[in-house]
Amino acid sequence: MQSPKLFLSLALTLFLSFNIAFAQKISPVNGRVIVIDPGHGGSAATDSYRQGPTGEREEWIDLRVGLLLKEILEKKGAKVLMTRSADVTFPLADRSKMAIDNKADFFVSIHHNATADPSVNFPIIYFHGLSSSNKAGVSFGKQLAKNLAKYMYKSKTPASVVSDFTIFSGAGSSVLRGTYGIPGVLVEASFFTNPQEEARLKEKEHNYNEALAFALAIEKFFKGTIPPIRPKIASDFPPQFATLQEAERMSPLAKRWYQDYTEAKGLMKSKDKETLQKAYDLFTQSARSFPDSYVAAKCHKYRAELLHKLGKPDEAVQEEKRVSEFFPGSGPG
């Protein structure tokens, strides 16, 4: 007959094993309030550039992915709120307000991108403000870039993790500005103006893989220590850099973004100031045409080098600050 002590020991072992196994199944997002913001909505009558070559519209894609992400996160125990669940307009201020009013733990705005160059396809992930202030946004953005490459692109791909001030130089994105203090990002997951990508974006499996990349990145974010977000200080920001606005990036000039970059790079070795100035102007044009691309980060880096060579050290320092604060995670996959 077994002794009572042995019986108690076995019972305790089984109890602990059960609880450890149960704890391991609980997702880090369990109980977290997550606001999913499918971008745009109800805009078919007001714009013509948010659609792919065969007419697939961005707001439709954003919503499909958002609903799939909601389903995945809810299965993991998260409380999920959607800024929209249909193809309708919803004011930007109200999207932010939903996150604030519900004390959200995380905010993600899902978008897909357009450009004049149909060959382009890579993810762009925006955090609000400066990389030195918004460490949470930068950390999540870098993880999401890896996940999108793995689950959505299924290959190494260039990616940009950039400040929203790269495209909204005055104040950043409205929804990220309005939710600042809550960890969050705005994501342009891929380019629907790329014909092959537009076709994939119509497929539920591709939409699901994208949603899965988001879900796993959010889960990993909450698994560890959440990086800090500190208040923005206006004097920390580099000077504004004028860029082409969204609709203007569909122009023939914008289509030269990579050509301008490569031509400028070829002029960098010159010692002639006129040639160096031309290189500077080409880098500037490339960065203005595609201000949030992985190439834009390199353009600003080279602009800083050229400003030193052209005898403008103060401007060079500001460009170096722009690179470190606005482009902490841009480059090839």
pLDDT in tens, 243-257: 987 778 778 888 999
pLDDT above 70 covers a percentage of the chain that reads 92
pLDDT of residue 45: 83
**φ and ψ of 315, to 5 deg:** -65, -35
DSSP secondary structure, 256-287, as one string? GHHHHHHHHHHTTT---HHHHHHHHHHHHHHH
The pLDDT tens digits for 82-105 are 999 999 999 999 999 999 999 999
For residues 328 and 141, give the distance between their C-alpha atoms in angstroms, rounded to a whole number: 10
pLDDT of residue 162: 98
Q: Please indicate whether residue 13 or residue 107 has the higher confidence score (pLDDT).
A: 107
Taking CA atoms, 296 is separated from 5, 99, 204, in Å, by 69, 31, 32
- Range 156-179 average pLDDT: 95
The pLDDT tens digits for 288-318 are 999 999 999 999 999 999 999 999 999 999 9
Cβ–Cβ under 8 Å, residues 294 and 158: yes
User: Which residue has 């007959």 as its token pair?
Assistant: 1
Question: Domains plus CATH for the chain?
Answer: 26-223 (3.40.630.40), 238-331 (1.25.40)
The pLDDT tens digits for 24-65 are 489 999 999 999 999 999 988 888 788 999 999 999 999 999
DSSP secondary structure, 108-167, as one string? EEEEEE--S-TT----EEEESS-TTTBHHHHHHHHHHHHHIIIIII-S---EEEEEGGGT
Residue 325 pLDDT exceeds 70: yes
pLDDT of residue 3: 58
- Per-residue confidence at 5, pLDDT binned at 50, 70, 90? low
Q: Taking all residues of the chain, what is their mean pLDDT, rounded to a whole number?
A: 92
Residues 6+ apart with CB under 8 A from 240: 169, 170
Residue 23 pLDDT exceeds 90: no
Helix (H) or strand (E) holding 106: strand 106-113
Instruction: Indicate the SS3 state at residue 45.
Output: coil
pLDDT of residue 10: 54
